[in-house]
Amino acid sequence: MTSDYCLLLLFVPPTQEDAVIDWLLQNHPGLTFTSAAVAAHTGEAEGLSIIEQVSGRKRQVCFSVTAPTAQCPALLEHIQSAFAGTAIRYQLVPLVGQGVF
């Protein structure tokens, strides 16, 4: 099954939240996205503050971006270029369905 749309999940440090919102709105105004505060969990301590290591979670903002599948490679390249070195993590998955009720 091929999908016409993909779902790009961006896991962004809170310090980069406004920059990502502004960048998405300015550079890709046709995309639909949402954002929410999330807690990232990992067993690796690298890159975690002492407080994050003790609490077992790292505060992040998750952006869910819906985009046409054909645009996803270029979108990822643009994000990588614009936010290099900011520790943004991503996941890209085919979107099997979407709609409005």
pLDDT at 42: 65
Which residue would you say has higher pLDDT here, 72 or 97?
Answer: 72
| pTM, two decimal places | 0.85
Structure confidence by residue, pLDDT tens digits, 5-59: 999 999 999 999 999 999 999 999 889 899 999 988 766 656 666 666 666 677 8
Q: Three-class SS of residue 80?
A: helix
How many other β-carbons are positioned within 10 Å of the β-carbon of residue 49?
Answer: 10
Structure confidence by residue, pLDDT tens digits, 46-70: 666 666 666 667 789 999 999 999 9
Show the domains of the chain with their CATH numbers. Answer: 8-94 (3.30.70.120)
